[in-house]
Amino acid sequence: MGVTGSDDDQAYVADTSTGRVYSFPAQSSGGPGSVRSPVQSGVYGGKVTFSTSKNQRYGLDVPGAGRGKPDDYFNTDRSGNLVAWKSLEAGMSDYIDLKAEGDLEVDSLRYLRDSGFPVPAAPLNGSRKGRSLLLTGGMDGDREMLSVSRVTQKSGNDSSEVLTEVGALGLASYDREDRYVKLIRVHNAICPDNPGPVEKYLNETYAPAVVKWHVSLGETITRQELPDLNFENFQTGNNRMLSSYTREMSRVYNYYKRTYGTDKNTLYLFFIDYPNPDKEGFMFVST
């Protein structure tokens, strides 16, 4: 990533991750506090919509996307509409795609963050009204709004700008957390041979929280190593509020820990062959 200048004083950002060159849009005379809703400014028509970028690293939480989040989880724009949250890694860059609809021209748009961070933009391939926005995360825990506003001129002799919001996005910055998982086959149980799809699913699911999962295969516990396991004792129906492992669970875990070692920052997922389990899986709740 690098910033360059040009003969026309336009600043550019060369993003080596995507090969795109992002430019800084023309600066507006007003800041976020100058932005008005269409009702306030009297300027109507057109809006922008956000969508995930193919280069996006972390999640986009969209209202009504089926995740069961209450309305008060989301911010609202200046017209009272719920807006999505975009997660960012603190101090790092990420991407979001934008499309202008109606009579909007993308060159008339300004991107204003509450923090004052600049928002470089680049054309989207094959989309005359599309832009890729380059967003930089703030400090861990920062929450702010990105307002996308169209610029118009006041009528008459007043040439000052009018900023009318045509879209908004909530930005949430987090320090990245790295999590580790090992998949362990017990005897001849069915267990994924390739951890890649599991890792991909976890990273997609936890992307809004800026969590990076690393999934690997652990050592198989063979029947010769740990014979005479009574898999019926893996049932957990009689456990007190799921506060402890069953005897056979403890036996498997303790053998693995004693033989191969464990790390406190790694989750160990044991696959067993039990035909009629009472649960899909089990993780006791410690007190």
What is the pLDDT, as a whole number, of residue 149?
94
With a pLDDT cut of 90, the percent of the chain lying above it is 53
In three-state form (DSSP H/G/I as H, E/B as E, the rest C), the secondary structure along 70-88 is: CHHHCCECCCCCECCEEEE
pLDDT tens for each residue of 170-224: 999 999 999 999 999 999 999 999 999 999 999 988 888 899 999 999 999 999 9
User: Which neighbouring-strand residues pair with 224?
Assistant: none
pLDDT tens for each residue of 35-54: 999 999 999 988 999 999 98
Q: How many helices (H) and strands (E) does the chain have?
A: 3, 15
Domain boundaries, the chain: 2-174, 177-271
With a pLDDT cut of 70, the percent of the chain lying above it is 84
Query: CA-CA distance, 21 to 72, in Å (whole number)?
Result: 37
CATH 2.60.40.10 fits 2-174, yes or no: yes
pLDDT at residue 267 tops 80: yes
Better-predicted residue by pLDDT, 209 or 126? 209
Cβ-Cβ contacts under 8 Å for 201 (sequence gap 6 or more): none
Structure tokens at 53: 């970028």
Strand 177-185 and strand 211-217: the pairing is: parallel
Q: How confident is the model at residue 250 (pLDDT cuts 50, 70, 90)?
A: confident
Kindly report the length of the chain: 287
In angstroms, how far is CA 171 from the centroid of its own chain? Answer: 10
Better-predicted residue by pLDDT, 169 or 2? 169
Query: CA-CA distance, 77 to 198, in Å (whole number)?
Result: 36
